[in-house]
């Protein structure tokens, strides 16, 4: 099929004012009756065409008259109806098969036939799997939904909107009705039906509305929803204060499911969550997972304004809601936790997931120009890079200006389907500035390289910093234009003091933002007594790759002296790259020595937060090292990264590491406060380092930690060390974990994940054993991701074998998975991104496996688009 193109966008010829949906629910079959009041665009003349996939049409009538077979055509996922007029009422009745739906799109069954429940997933184009409808986000309609089902099997019936009656029917059946007063696009429709328990809390919004907050799950896990409910209340209050946004229905339902393709879904009034991002308890969740629950609860809640009240005109504008909502969640999480640690976490994710995407065959702009399968565009580029673009805009306006801009955006576009241009106009108009130059960031793929070069003129006491930019060609975009790049910078002297910045006619400050919008731009600083050390892109002020020829000593200085935690970390990461390079090409400038010295002195100094210290002592990941190379050998990268850490551990010393481990191992396992979390994080790092210089000692400590841990963070950290190091104690701990968590799918996922992380050639055997474990199934996305996602995307030295067996195993499973769940198959296939930069033996093996998969035929649109793009 031809791609769908942004430039071909046309207003909908037909839209829908109101929808009445009557749904008769059953496990094997469900019947949906839809009454649509139609609105015709007077300037267009196309016949009425509705989307519909996998629907068995049982009845159809127009304006109360049953249609004969000549008055409509139902072909290729489109229903074309003759005779419709502005104001016509179209009624259709269709049959669906929820239990047979393994793609988890539309109406499907979560869990078993006997005890599971029914739910829907409509974003992006799932509503067409439920009824015939113009299934596009610019058709906003008012929904009235009536659900009917057997009371014993489906005691709970939920849909988005406010409850509007419920009652009994004959033969043990019952009904419930919901009316959503807010017009919404079809992708925000949702229903849930089954045996569920809830916890609830009353909430009064800042503007005085009483809201019932209700979290639902299967009975055995309802006690694990309390943390999420607290997080929900926190983020609701935060949105009232930070953005003046109040919740707008009488009830807010949140439901947990173990069968979900993504993290969660912001359906209006009825959010649905992958259980992984809703359930939390110390026995089965790590500290990181607690933070993820808080972040995802907030993200979905924030969508109520950025996504739901103001939605997207078309799917090309996806980042309008996703990038903006990620940014809002980042602000919230920074406020709730440590801003520096949050920024480190977000920038690491960007570099691990988005930079490689932008550098390979799947590169696309934040606002793509075309797609074949929209589900393939829920990417790190749209989400994470999109959030960075909003951050640049917010930075350029300042906090008050950004708030003014957001207020105007909501005022202008509430109840509308908007575009990225609308967003930039509102932000700009509210502040009388033109932000349109930033639009080019949305249309241009690839990570810009920002090259910086400093010249010091001792006679004039001037320091000239020249900043230039260049973006490499990406697929279908050979030419690139310069972008506005805000570079926040400071200068330090060689004792680590920050210098006042004297530029033309301005009062000196110690930090400044220079917007580089040309290919090359010099900036002159006066009254500089000696060559300074520049600290560039502070706070990661733009999503670019910085190229500056730092000497190791300069980075060590920033790592030790920069007052900002994030910038210290940045300097440490940069120094670790130099240290890594120096391992195989030693130079006089001992970068490795500088890195080890600086970290050892911070480690001994104890003046720094434990969690930040743990982050500082973690070198960039294997994927980030690979991103800087042209002939990638993942085994070598793994070995060199390990060697780097071994040297750090040796430099600090075995005794010191043991002493610090014991000082940190002082209980508080179940306490979630920042101090205890930080202790656990540093303890884990110390244990991992110790394992590289005193394997026996570290394994003994890890085994003991595993046995005595009362919380999952310490338990999993210990298990990870034992398993990844293939310690003799690993088998016993794994057997124990397997049995202890046999009935806890989220914890059991970690058992699969940790074993899929075994580095090197041993990984494959581990995967082969694990996939025949009775608990393994490709049908559950979390389980499939835990095993194959971790292996293929999170374990480069295990997956990229020279014999190509990793590639063959993955492509075989992708073909199987594609028949069940194309969205998940396509996502896992992105592990092949970057295969062209592998060294030649692996490259050839990857190509052979990919070509064989492409030639199998019968692949879904989702998977074939990814494989086709990856191979181009």
Which residues are known catalytic residues?
300
Cα(530)–Cα(494) distance, integer angstroms: 9
H or E segment to which residue 243 belongs: helix 226-243
Closest to ligand HT7 by CB, 533 or 824: 824
> Least Å distance between CB 378 and Zn ion?
9
| Partner from ligand HT7, Zn ion, none contacting 124, C-beta within 5 to 8 A by type | ligand HT7
> Least Å distance between CB 325 and Zn ion?
5
Structure tokens at 728: 């003799």
Closest to Zn ion by CB, 275 or 450: 275
Could you give the string, one character per residue 366-385, with x where binding to ligand HT7 holds by CB under 6 A and - elsewhere?
---------x--x-------
725 SS3 class = coil
Closest to ligand HT7 by CB, 303 or 351: 303
> Least Å distance between CB 266 and ligand HT7?
5
Asked if 101 contacts 95 with a C-beta cutoff of 8 angstroms, the reply is: no
Could you give the string, one character per residue 324-353, with x where binding to Zn ion holds by CB under 5 A and - elsewhere?
-x----------------------------
Cα(235)–Cα(521) distance, integer angstroms: 42
Which ranges of 668-778 does DSSP label H, i.e. alpha helix? 674-693, 695-708, 712-724, 730-740, 745-756, 762-770
Give the interface size with Zn ion as a residue count (CB under 5 A): 2
Asked if 539 contacts 442 with a C-beta cutoff of 8 angstroms, the reply is: no
Cα(713)–Cα(677) distance, integer angstroms: 9
Q: Does 299 bind ligand HT7 (CB under 6 A)?
A: yes
Closest to Zn ion by CB, 20 or 322: 322
Considering Cα of 675, then 676, then 677, then 681, what sign does the dihedral take? positive
Cα(439)–Cα(367) distance, integer angstroms: 10
What are the φ and ψ backbone dihedral angles of 154, each rounded to 5 degrees? -130, 65
Cα(849)–Cα(378) distance, integer angstroms: 25
Closest to ligand HT7 by CB, 340 or 375: 375
Within residues 807-846, the interface with ligand HT7 by CB under 6 A covers 823
198 SS3 class = strand
Q: Out of 254, 262, 392, 698, name the contact with ligand HT7 by CB under 6 A.
A: 262
First-residue to last-residue Cα distance in the chain: 17
**CB-nearest residue to ligand HT7:** 262
Asked if 33 contacts 92 with a C-beta cutoff of 8 angstroms, the reply is: yes
Q: Does 121 bind ligand HT7 (CB under 6 A)?
A: yes
H or E segment to which residue 422 belongs: helix 420-429
H or E segment to which residue 94 belongs: strand 89-96
Q: Does 713 bind ligand HT7 (CB under 6 A)?
A: no
Cα(125)–Cα(704) distance, integer angstroms: 50
Could you give the string, one character per residue 288-327, with x where binding to Zn ion holds by CB under 5 A and - elsewhere?
----------------------------------x--x--
Q: Does 265 bind ligand HT7 (CB under 6 A)?
A: yes
> Least Å distance between CB 303 and ligand HT7?
6
Could you give the string, one character per residue 318-357, with x where binding to ligand HT7 holds by CB under 6 A and - elsewhere?
----x-----------------------------------
| Partner from Zn ion, ligand HT7, none contacting 793, C-beta within 5 to 8 A by type | none
Q: Does 124 bind ligand HT7 (CB under 6 A)?
A: yes
Tokens 């530029």 -> residue: 503
> Least Å distance between CB 271 and ligand HT7?
9
Give the interface size with ligand HT7 as a residue count (CB under 6 A): 15
Contacts for 479 with CB less than 8 Å, ≥ 6 apart:
473
Q: Can you state the angle between helices 730-740 and 695-708, rounded to 10 degrees?
A: 20
Piece of the chain touching ligand HT7 by CB under 6 A; list 137-145, 298-306, 805-813, 814-822: 298-306
Within residues 591-620, the interface with Zn ion by CB under 5 A covers none
Residue count (the chain):
872
> Least Å distance between CB 308 and ligand HT7?
10
Q: Does 782 bind ligand HT7 (CB under 6 A)?
A: no
Closest to ligand HT7 by CB, 303 or 842: 303
Cα(619)–Cα(632) distance, integer angstroms: 18
Piece of the chain touching ligand HT7 by CB under 6 A; list 160-168, 257-265, 417-425, 576-584: 257-265
Contacts for 518 with CB less than 8 Å, ≥ 6 apart:
482
In terms of DSSP bridges, do strands 251-257 and 210-217 run parallel, antiparallel, or are they unpaired?
parallel
Contacts for 501 with CB less than 8 Å, ≥ 6 apart:
490, 491, 508, 509, 510, 511, 512, 525
Q: Cα 538 to chain center, whole Å?
A: 23
> Least Å distance between CB 297 and ligand HT7?
11
Closest to Zn ion by CB, 325 or 376: 325
Closest to Zn ion by CB, 322 or 615: 322
Q: Does 129 bind ligand HT7 (CB under 6 A)?
A: no
> Least Å distance between CB 306 and Zn ion?
9
Closest to ligand HT7 by CB, 296 or 452: 296
Closest to Zn ion by CB, 322 or 669: 322
> Least Å distance between CB 318 and ligand HT7?
8
> Least Å distance between CB 185 and ligand HT7?
12
Torsion of CA 591, 593, 594, 600, to 10 degrees: 140
Is 425 exposed, middle or buried (CB count within 10 Å of its CB: 0-12, 13-18, 19+)? buried
Catalog residues that contact ligand HT7 under the rule CB under 6 A: 121, 123-124, 261-262, 264-266, 299-300, 303, 322, 375, 378, 823
Catalog residues that contact Zn ion under the rule CB under 5 A: 322, 325
């Amino acid at each position: 099929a031809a791609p769908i193109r942004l430039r071909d966008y046309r207003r909908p010829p037909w839209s829908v004012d109101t929808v009445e949906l009557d749904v008769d629910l059953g496990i094997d079959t469900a019947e949906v009756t839809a009454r649509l009041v139609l609105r015709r665009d007077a300037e267009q003349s196309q016949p009425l065409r509705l989307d519909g996939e996998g629907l068995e049409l049982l009845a159809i009538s127009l304006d109360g008259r049953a249609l004969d077979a000549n008055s409509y055509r139902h072909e290729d996922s489109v229903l074309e109806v003759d005779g419709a007029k502005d104001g016509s009422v179209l009624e259709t009745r269709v049959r669906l098969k929820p239990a047979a739906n393994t793609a988890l799109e539309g109406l499907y069954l979560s869990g078993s036939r006997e005890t599971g429940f029914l739910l829907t997933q409509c974003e992006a184009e799932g509503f067409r799997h439920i009824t015939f409808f113009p299934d596009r986000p610019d058709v906003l309609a008012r929904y009235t939904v009536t659900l009917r089902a057997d009371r014993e099997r489906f005691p709970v019936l939920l849909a988005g909107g406010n409850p509007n009656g419920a009652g009994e029917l004959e033969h043990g059946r019952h009904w419930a009705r919901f009316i959503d007063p807010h017009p919404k696009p079809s992708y925000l429709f949702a229903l849930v039906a089954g045996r569920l328990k809830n916890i609830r809390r009353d909430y009064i919004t800042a503007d005085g509305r009483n809201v019932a907050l209700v979290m639902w799950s299967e009975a055995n896990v309802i006690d694990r929803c309390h943390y999420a409910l607290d997080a929900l209340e926190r983020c609701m209050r935060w949105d009232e204060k930070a953005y003046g946004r109040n919740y707008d229905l009488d009830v807010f339902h949140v439901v947990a499911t173990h069968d979900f393709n993504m993290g969660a879904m912001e359906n209006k009034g009825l959010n649905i969550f992958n259980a992984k991002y809703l359930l939390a308890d110390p026995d089965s969740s790590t500290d990181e997972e607690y933070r993820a629950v808080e972040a995802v609860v907030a993200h979905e809640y924030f969508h109520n304004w950025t996504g739901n009240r103001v939605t997207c005109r078309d799917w090309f504008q996806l980042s309008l809601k996703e990038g903006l909502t990620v940014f809002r969640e980042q602000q919230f999480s920074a406020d709730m936790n440590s801003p520096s640690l949050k920024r480190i976490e977000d920038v690491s994710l960007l570099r691990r997931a988005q930079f490689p995407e932008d550098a390979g065959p799947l590169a696309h702009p934040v606002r793509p120009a075309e797609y074949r399968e929209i589900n393939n565009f829920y990417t790190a580029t749209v989400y994470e890079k999109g959030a960075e673009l909003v951050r640049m805009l917010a930075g350029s306006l300042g906090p008050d200006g950004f708030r003014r801009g957001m207020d105007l955006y909501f005022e202008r576009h509430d109840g509308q389907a908007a575009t990225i241009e609308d967003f930039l106009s509102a932000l700009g108009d509210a502040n009388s500035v033109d932000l349109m130059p930033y639009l080019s960031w949305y249309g241009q793929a690839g990570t810009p390289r920002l090259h910086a070069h400093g010249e010091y003129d001792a006679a004039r006491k001037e320091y000239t910093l020249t900043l230039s930019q260049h973006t490499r060609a990406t697929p279908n975009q050979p030419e690139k234009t310069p972008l506005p790049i805000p570079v926040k910078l400071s200068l330090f002297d060689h004792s680590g003091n920050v210098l006042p910045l004297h530029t033309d006619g301005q009062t000196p400050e110690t930090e400044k933002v220079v917007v580089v919008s040309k290919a090359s731009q010099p900036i002159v600083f006066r009254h500089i007594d000696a060559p300074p050390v520049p600290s560039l892109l502070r706070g990661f002020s733009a999503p670019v790759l910085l190229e500056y020829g730092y000497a190791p000593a300069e980075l060590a200085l920033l790592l030790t002296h920069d007052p900002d935690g994030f910038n210290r970390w940045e300097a440490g990461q940069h120094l670790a790259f130099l240290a890594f390079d120096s391992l195989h090409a030693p130079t006089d400038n001992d970068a490795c020595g500088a890195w080890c010295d600086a970290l050892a002195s911070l480690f001994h100094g104890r003046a720094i937060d434990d969690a930040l210290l743990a982050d500082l002592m973690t070198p960039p990941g294997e994927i980030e090292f690979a991103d800087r190379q042209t002939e990638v050998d993942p085994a070598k990268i793994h070995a060199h990264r390990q060697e780097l850490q071994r040297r750090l551990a040796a430099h600090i010393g075995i005794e010191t590491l043991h002493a610090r481990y014991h000082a940190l191992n002082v209980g508080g396992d179940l306490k979630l406060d920042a101090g205890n979390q930080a202790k656990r994080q540093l303890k884990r790092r110390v244990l991992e380092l110790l394992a590289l210089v005193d394997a026996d000692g570290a394994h003994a400590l890890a085994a003991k930690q595993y046995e005595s841990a009362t919380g999952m963070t310490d338990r999993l950290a210990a298990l990870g060390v034992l398993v990844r190091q293939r310690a003799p104690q690993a088998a016993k701990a794994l057997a124990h974990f397997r049995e202890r968590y046999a009935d806890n799918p989220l914890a059991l996922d970690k058992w699969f994940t940790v074993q899929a992380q075994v580095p090197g050639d041993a990984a494959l055997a581990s995967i082969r054993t694990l996939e025949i474990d009775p608990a393994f199934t490709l049908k559950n996305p979390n389980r499939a991701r835990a095993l194959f996602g971790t292996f293929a995307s999170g374990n480069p030295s295990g997956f990229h074998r020279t014999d190509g067996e990793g590639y063959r195993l993955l492509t075989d499973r992708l073909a199987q998975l594609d028949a069940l769940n194309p969205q998940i198959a396509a996502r896992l296939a992105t592990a092949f991104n970057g295969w062209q930069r592998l060294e030649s033996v692996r490259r050839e093996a990857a190509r052979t496996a990919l070509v064989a998969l492409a030639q199998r035929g019968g692949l879904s649109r989702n998977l074939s688009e990814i494989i086709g793009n990856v191979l181009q």
